[in-house]
Amino acid sequence: MGEEFKRLDRELVYKGTVVDFYKDTVQTPAGHIVKWDFIGHRGAAAVVPVREDGKLLMVRQYRNALDRYTLEIPAGGLNDEGTEPTKLAAARELEEETGYRSEDLELLLTLRTTVAFCNEKIDIYLATNLTRSQQNLDEDEFIHVEAYELKELISMILEGVIEDSKTIAAILAYKEKYLSV
């Protein structure tokens, strides 16, 4: 391609608890100087928990950005430094949010949620051979665990009931990788 963009400056505008907001100054290949928004995220991990009966465990929780409850796969951010191995974070979130554990976590896919302005990266794992443990929610979490057949979840995606991108990508990747003929 030969086209080069050059970041000249990155100014921290706001430091948040989940994301940091920056104003970038970038030089385009044509030499123009432009200002772009950038949101820095420390990363996250998610998990597709599959019970022995084939049902997938999902979490229903309130999402402030949408001002409603959503149905999603369990997920959460990495430690404050963003250095935590995603497999450990996925195992932790599985237990905290669903009350199940698994020693069998396999990387299913990695996705970037919004590449136009954010660097958020989510590693999504498949968890099998689940064993009961205990749900351990944060004080601001109110999560209901529900089990669904894969076909029910696919229908909910196609009907627009499930809109969360990580959940959609994870469910479709699981179907394609493990259940396609």
Handedness of CA 30, 34, 37, 41 (dihedral sign): positive
For the record, the structure tokens of 137 come out as 């929610």
* Pairing verdict, β 6-15 and 19-27: antiparallel
Whole-number Å distance between alpha carbons of 120 and 118:
6
Q: Check if 97 is active-site.
A: no
**Catalytic pick among 3, 81, 139, 159:** 139
List residues with catalytic annotation: 139
